[in-house]
Structure 1
């Protein structure tokens, strides 16, 4: 992904605006989960489309606090454990209450699975309807990775931990996802 063509990241204000907008849509619970899988868990469109209930539930069928993403549902062999934020866990629990917990988590209004292209188109339409130019299905993932990179040192972690969270094979790829903050650079220099 070339630097000049990267999807824009979302500010906290924009994220709140998206969530408020989604609450007014048909399938609001599903839509909220889709958005949070992107912006909080950093999932790719393909991973959102292929996410199954068995990847977010334990053997008793109860929701867990992590996503056990299988290689077949991810890019290359980048499956693994993806930790869920509290707000994603809460949204998923609300959504799950109305669902039969088998098959894919995200389904169309006709209760069929969605392809990665349909998920990509959904994000494009969402951001276009809010006037967010330059945003795409990858904006949530870039936002998540940037947020992780900015806060990982406060919990004793490093950029290698962010690489693991992002499920990237190289640190260079992770670095390309991180949005530069001129304000942060000024503050760290003093």
Structure 2
């Protein structure tokens, strides 16, 4: 897919993705992988390297934030992302199934998944669901687009979206934001 952006995930597509993984041997883990991408905007490498210490507070309870540390982030672009309620519920379920030490996402053998394994996991999922144009970056693009569209409702700006994405420049963040044809029609109609 060189030169083209990953397709964003619609709410209907997300429902299908979550329903599909509901029938797997790793339902709880797979749900967390999807939500880390779509509801936190994490890259495949960040999902693979995310450690429980980055989502738990000092008492061992789930925090209200994900601490994406510099050592797992692209270009050392660490950041603090508020935890979406759906993701928090999924992490609570995952935490209840194992000792919450080490990698959040583990392979079938129990070790940490590699970033390429996360990329391939998404390839397999999107192929099974026949979601052409989607990749492991689709969830991240969806997160950034949704954040940008809703920024004005929360008193935020594109700078806040940039910080959540961990981008060094606002231009990179803007390139992720998907246009909205129906929204553009409404905007022109109001002008």
SS in 2 for 1:5: coil
Match of 1:26 in 2: 25
Match of 1:148 in 2: 147
Equivalenced residues, count: 189
Match of 1:65 in 2: 64
Q: Which runs of 5+ in 2 are unaligned?
A: none
Distance 1:119 1:48 in 2: 8
Distance 2:156 2:65 in 1: 19
Distance 2:180 2:59 in 1: 44
SS in 2 for 1:41: coil
Q: Which runs of 5+ in 1 are unaligned?
A: none
Match of 2:111 in 1: 112
Distance 1:132 1:84 in 2: 27
SS in 1 for 2:102: coil
Report runs of 4+ in structure 1 exceeding 3 Å deviation: none
Distance 1:160 1:183 in 2: 25
SS in 1 for 2:76: coil
Match of 2:6 in 1: 7
Distance 1:84 1:130 in 2: 27
- Using the TM superposition, give the Cα deviation of residue 83 of structure 1 relative to its aligned residue in structure 2, in angstroms: 1.4
Match of 2:50 in 1: 51
Scaled by the length of structure 1, the TM-score of the pair is 0.97
Q: Deviations over 1:29-84 (max 9, x none)?
A: 00000000000000000000000000001112111121111111110121120111
- Cα RMSD (Å): 1.1
- Point out the more displaced range, 126-135 or 180-189: 180-189
Scaled by the length of structure 2, the TM-score of the pair is 0.96
- Using the TM superposition, give the Cα deviation of residue 158 of structure 1 relative to its aligned residue in structure 2, in angstroms: 1.0
Residue 94 of structure 2 corresponds to residue 95 of structure 1: yes
Distance 1:77 1:113 in 2: 20
Residue 158 of structure 2 corresponds to residue 159 of structure 1: yes
SS in 2 for 1:68: strand
